[in-house]
Structure 1
Amino acid sequence: MISQQTIQQILGRIDILDIVGEFVKLKKRGSNYLGLCPFHNEKTPSFIVSPGKEIYKCFGCGKSGNSISFVMEHEKYSYVDALKWLANRYGVEIEETFVSDQQRQQYQTADSLFIINGFAQQFFADQLFNTEEGQDIGLAYFKERGFREEIIRKFQLGYSPERRDAFTKEALSKQYTAELLVKTGLVANRNDQLMDNYRGRVIFPIHNHSGKVLGFGARILKKNDRAPKYINSPENEIYLKSRILYGSYFARTAIDKADECLLVEGYTDVISLHQAGIENVVASGGTSLTPDQLRLVKKYTNNLTIVYDGDNAGIKAALRGLDLALEEGLNVKLVLIPDGEDPDSYVNKVGASKFTQFVNENKKDFILFQLEVALKDAGGDSIKKADVVNKMAETISKINKAEDFTKQQDYIKQTAEILKIEETGLHSLVNKFIRDRIATQERKMPFEEARAHEENAKQAEATNYDDATFNLLFKDELQEREVARILIEHGVKKWNDKKLIAEYILEEIPDESLIDNAEVILLIAAFKELMQSTPELATKNYFIYHPDTKLSTLAVSLLNFPHDQSDRWKSEFSQNSGFQQSLFQQSYEDFMRAMRKDNEAELNNFLKIDEDRSDVEVDSAIMYLKLRKIKRMLLENQADLEKPHTTEELYMLHQTHEHLKKMEIELTRNMGAVVIK
């Protein structure tokens, strides 16, 4: 784990304009910046960055966040990887903490393997471009395949010389240990002799999502029946074949923009398509697709198009992993390259434009294609046809996400028509496979967990909220979030000469009994802890960049509208003024138009950036919570009144009711509106 000290150094140097501006062209609009959203296709900019609050918000697709979440979303990094990317950008040395010696050893080994692989990549590239052997053999091979030098350098291709220990000697001279060199697969130990494992081969580095070299694929150039055509790195702390798609580092942005991932088999397929300008492509390496690989695709898109050779081997390879892709909720299409070609040779033969046209015009529905192939294999054999029916029902049953119900029903109908069987019978068979799978899952579920699920289901069925109850809960939700927003945005401001706003609010909310929202309770608890230990950290940035994603997501969502309300905004859109959707839509469009035109006069109708209304906001929030507490006490008192009591007890309950009603009326009058029914 990255130490808190390192995280604080990174946060201290982050500039959201610098980060977002690397990927989005931003123009100043008022005190904020506007650009085209990088997360969805739009022609009119609706993506706003607020440097003052260090957050971004897209009013088109709704995405919002901070600098770290932007890097995570745009580059598809984990939280830790995003921090490392930022640390590297701002020259922060990463200090890591470890929970055990074993974990420390694993991290150190992984770091060492990355360093060795980086050194090896540079060695092989140098051999390719700067040695006579590399140019005559390796570079000549790549150019024969049609690769231009810029694409060779982009994918960091290389060459390992024929000499028995050229790389080994160089690596040992740089003080890399023999044990780790063997672990990478770059060096082999045969009869206590260290030698190069990839000699005489061209080298394809395999990168992770941040561009580091995980391992290598090495292709033999000479004819040798005893040697494998390709050698890949062995599995180790950083190279796990089931979690890797070749070319994903270079394709991730293109996949995101195209909202489609093309999947091919080999390294050269990927490189040739990239060279032709078709960059949303990755390779499976010829193996069956794994759940981890499919989840990697789904990070970028739900649309997967498999582009394989049209021969029998290509068809079988394409069909492997279909059920897994369906379970992941991917929309899968298949394109088979004709005439014994593969994607590499076909794009070189017909060019990028015709290749793209061919793919778009020849996409086959994956499930129906599987049915077509299976029926062809079954021929007139009735037993084999029955197997086909069962197989198709099992496949369709894997489409198990609620949002894909209509898709599942369409497949049942089309499959029944092609197989010439009753649709109801196929439907029943699909449902049987679904029931069997659920039963299997339930058998795996611990008894207590299953009982908890049953109890939750009963409670959900028994619950019957009417619209008024829902509206009240929703209003409470908004008000609780308002308290959290005030703490984050104004907590360290002075309430008076003796205390901060946060101290005042926390005194008025001595416990969490008035709050129902679990995330707000979590934030209040974190704020209390900060005020007791390190109150100087209790700023909005502390929560915007909090390592607990629940807190950081809450903080961003509370602050994600980058402007304070003006009087016009409040009068036109507040709940008390009879908010109308059409009026809101028109004024929102006026607001966005003013933003794009940088019309300060118009903007000032909507915005009062410098107006500090924190005292009003605090009073309003505190009074609301007090009012809600009184309302709850009134309900409890009313429930108590309905029970049998002595005359004296009834008198006390009526007195309590009158006292609470007076308090309610007084608070309501101070707030200027009735906020609770």
Structure 2
Amino acid sequence: MISQQSIQQILSRIDIIEIVGSFIKLKKRGANYLGLCPFHGEKSPSFTVSPAKEIYKCFGCGRSGNTISFIMEHEKYSYVEALRWLAAKYNVEVEETQMSPERLAQQQTADSLFILNGFAQKYFSQNLMESEEGQAIGLSYLKERGFREEIMNRFQLGYCLATRDSFSQTALAAHYSLEYLQKSGLVVVRDEKPFDNYRGRIIFPVHNQSGKVIGFGARIIGKNDKAPKYINTPENEVYIKSKILYGTYFARQAIDKFDECLLVEGYTDVVSLHQAGIENVVASGGTSLTMDQLRLIKKYTKNLTIIYDGDSAGVKAALRGLDMALEEGLNVKLVLIPDKEDPDSYVNKIGATAFREFIDQNKKDFILFQLEVQMKDVGNDSAKKAGLVNQVAETIAKINKLEDFTKQQDYIKQCAELLKIEEGGLVNLVNKHIREKLAKEEAKQAAAQGIDPTQFYDDNAMRGEESGYSEDTFNLIFKDELQEKQLIRVLLEHGAKEWDRTQKIAQYILEQDIVEEMIENQTVVKVLHMYRDMLAENHEPTDKDFVFSQENDVSTLVVSILNTPYELSAHWEAEKQVFSVLEQGFRKYMNIEYKHKAIMKEEKGFKDDVISTIQFLKLKKIKQLMEQNQADLETNNTYERLLELLPPHMHIKDMEIELAKMTGIVIKKQ
């Protein structure tokens, strides 16, 4: 990991205008800068950068963040990769924190493999373009396939000479160790002699998301029944096949732009489509998709279109990844290339424009396609058909996100029609699989936590006609997270100011135990903990500590608070009135002393922010007490226990009735 000292050096040199301005054109507009958003297409600039706050916000698509998150989002880097990119730009020497001997050895091996792969890529590319054999065999073959030199250079294609150990001897002479040469897959040892593993083959370097070469695919030229068509790098510290999609580094921005990822099988398919101007494409290598590969796609888009030729093996390999794709929330389509063509040959045959039109017009829904393929195998076999119905129901059940409910219902209807079964029966079977899945997840969580998950409160219990509560009022007062975030705004803006002669506002807020108890947003809780820890270390927290936090949820929350012209919602005045009525009873029941009651009535300005924020959270506690007492009365029916519970219940009930009267006003949602 990068040391904290190095991170602070990077942060101290960051200039958000310089960084963002190197990717988009910015114009000064008052205290801020304005430009066209790089994350969505727009004609009128709505992308605003604040140099004072060191944050950006697009008021068109809603994207926001800091300099690091901009690099992460624009370049599709991880947090550490973004830091390293910034360190290189500002010439900051990156120091690593102390690692275990095992982790240090692993890191050193990875670094060595990166260096070796970079050396090999340059060697192979030079062979292709400059050596007599490379030009005569490798370059002429690629040109015959229709590849231009500019696309070869972009993808850093190369050629390995056909001689036994040309690369091996060159690498050993350059002092690369034989151990790493074997680990990388570039060299094999036979009869105690090193041999080049990719002799006489076209070389396709495989890049990670930051552009480093992590491995190679080596394609044979011509036909040779005794040799495999491709040789790929064996798995090692930097090359893990299940986490790699070929071409991701070159496609990431186009995928983001078109909000769609095209998935093909081979290296040449990717290169050909890129050459034709279709750049939102990656390759799986012809194997079934893994969860890591699907999550990599989801980083860029939720829309996945798989393009395969009509070969049944390729299609079935793609189908095996379907259920995982659905669980990841991806929208999956399938396109089959006709006439025994593949994407490489077909785009060269019909051209880029016609190819895109063909893709758009021939996308098939993956679930329905899968069903059609399997129905052909099932035929009239009743037992197989029953198994297929159950399998289809299990597949549809994996579409379990609330926003995809309509999609799920459409699938049920269409699949029932294709299977010629009752729609209601399929609905019941789908619901059965959903219940089973939920039960397993709940049991797993319960086992991990030692308790059953429970809701904070029951929405139905908050709608009693007797008390006259407005549903909108309760949604606003007790469920509105805006006021929880308000607590963070108050801390960031006023935390360092004095509350009284003995303490600052931050100390006063953090001493209120009831505050954290009533907060449901766990990121807000996390910020409170971080703030408290910084104070304990005699560090006065600033916006920057949270804006540039390594905790992505913390950074996102604070940036959103700083970006938004945060205002108290309209129902604050009603809440303050309510609190004045409830204060005496609440204080008596909870045994709480308000040391600053006079301030509550007399002081205005920022202290009002503090008071009203804490009031809201304490009001939530009152509601919880109301519900708890009601539950106690319903479950405890002994005479002695009822006598004990009745006084506090009546007391809280009086407060509840008063609250109902005062919250009968219309409150607008923010």
TM-score normalised over the length of structure 2: 0.81
C-alpha distance in 2 between matches for 1:370 and 1:359: 18
Aligned residues of 1:310 and 1:337 also touching (Cα < 8 A): yes
Following TM superposition, by how much is the alpha carbon of 1:198 offset from its aligned partner in structure 2, in angstroms?
Answer: 0.8
Alpha carbons of structure 1 residues 515 and 96: separation in structure 2 relative to 1, 3 Å: same
| C-alpha distance in 2 between matches for 1:415 and 1:439 | 26
CA contact (8 A) 1:160 1:199 kept: yes
| Residue in 2 that maps onto 1:485 | 489
Q: 2:557 aligns with which of 532, 554, 565?
A: 554
Instruction: Give yes or no for contact 2:490–2:610 (8 Å, CA) kept in 1.
Output: no
User: Cα gap change, 1:626/1:283 in structure 2, threshold over 3 Å: closer, same or farther?
Assistant: closer
Q: State the one-letter code of the partner of 1:182.
A: Q
Q: Partner residue of 2:323?
A: 323
- Output the CA distance in 1 between the equivalents of 2:618 and 2:287: 66
User: How far does residue 484 in structure 1 lie from its aligned partner after superposition?
Assistant: 3.0
Whole-angstrom CA distance in 1 between matches of 2:243 and 2:63: 27
The alpha-carbon distance between structure 1 residues 33 and 257, as it changes in their structure 2 partners (threshold 3 A), is same
- 1:392-419 per-residue CA deviation (whole Å, 9 max, x = no partner) reads 3333233232322221221121122122
Give the 3 Å change call, closer, same or farther, for CA 630–421 of structure 1 in structure 2: closer
Q: Which moved more, 1:311-320 or 1:181-190?
A: 311-320
Aligned: 1:406 with 2:406: yes
Residue equivalent to 2:177: 177
Q: Residues 299-330 of structure 1: CA distance to partner in whole angstroms, max 9, x if unpaired?
A: 11111111110233343333231222222221
Q: Per-residue deviation at 1:524?
A: 4.5
Which of 525, 540, 543 is the matching residue for 1:540? 543
Question: 1:670 matched to which residue of 2?
Answer: none
Identity %, equivalent residues: 58
Q: Decide whether aligned partners of structure 1 residues 402 and 228 sit closer, same or farther in structure 2, where only a CA change above 3 A counts.
A: same
Cα distance in structure 2, aligned partners of 1:636 and 1:419: 50
Q: CA deviation at 1:53?
A: 0.4
Residue 452 of structure 1 is matched in structure 2 by: 451
Q: Which residue of 2 aligns with 1:468?
A: 473
Distance 1:473 1:434, change over 3 A: closer
| Distance in 1 of aligned mates of 2:85 and 2:93 | 11
Alignment of 1:42-441 (within 5 A): 42-438=42-438
What amino acid maps onto 1:12 in structure 2? Answer: S
- Go from structure 1 to structure 2 and tell me whether the alpha carbon gap of 1:499 and 1:216 turns closer, same or farther (over 3 Å shift): farther
527 and 434 in structure 1: CA distance in 2 versus 1, 3 angstrom threshold: closer
**What is the alpha-carbon distance in structure 2 between the residues aligned to residue 214 and residue 19 of structure 1?**
27
Matches within 5 A, 1:634-645: none
Task: Tell me if structure 1 keeps the 8 A contact 2:515–2:618.
Answer: no
Deviation, 1:364, is 1.1
- Tell me, yes or no, if the aligned pair for 2:215 and 2:239 is still in contact at 8 Å: yes
When structure 1 is superposed on structure 2, of 552-561 and 139-148 the one drifting more is 552-561
What letter matches 2:612 in structure 1? Y
Q: 2: CA distance between counterparts of 1:379 and 1:633? A: 62
- Structure 2 counterpart of 1:546, which letter? S
Confirm or deny that 1:619 pairs with 2:607: yes
SS in 1 for 2:228: coil
> What is the rounded CA distance, in whole Å, between the counterparts of 1:439 and 1:210 in structure 2?
41
TM-score (norm 1): 0.80
Alignment-mate amino acid for residue 142 of structure 1: L
Which secondary structure state, in structure 2, belongs to the residue aligned with residue 226 of structure 1?
coil
Residues matched between the structures, number:
599
Q: Is the contact made by 1:488 and 1:555 (CA closer than 8 Å) also made in structure 2?
A: no
- Alpha-carbon distance in structure 2 between the residues aligned to 1:482 and 1:384: 58
**Counterpart Cα distance in 2 of 1:185 and 1:420:** 53
SS, match of residue 504 in structure 2: helix
Q: Distance in 2 between matches of 1:208 and 1:635?
A: 53
Q: Which whole-Å CA distance do the structure 2 matches of 1:528 and 1:377 have between them?
A: 63
C-alpha deviation, 1:58, in angstroms:
1.7
Which consecutive residues of structure 1, in runs of 5 or more, have no partner in the other structure? 579-614, 658-677
1:471 maps to a residue whose letter is L
Paired with 2:265 and 2:312, the residues of 1 have a C-alpha distance of 14
Q: What is the DSSP-based 3-state SS (H/G/I as helix, E as strand, rest coil) of the residue aligned with 2:451?
A: helix
CA distance 1:245–1:644, shift in 2 (3 Å)? same
Code of the aligned partner of 1:238: V
Which residue of structure 2 aligns with residue 609 of structure 1? Answer: none
**Shift in CA distance, 508/329, structure 1 to aligned 2, threshold 3 Å:** closer
Q: Distance in 1 between matches of 2:617 and 2:240?
A: 56
- Provide Cα deviations, 1:19-60, integer angstroms capped at 9, x if missing partner: 222333222211111222222333332221111100111222
- Deviation of the 1:523 alpha carbon: 3.6
- Structure 1 pair 174/464, CA: closer, same or farther in 2 (3 Å)? farther
Indicate the structure whose relative CO is greater, using CA pairs within 8 Å and at least 6 residues apart.
Answer: 1
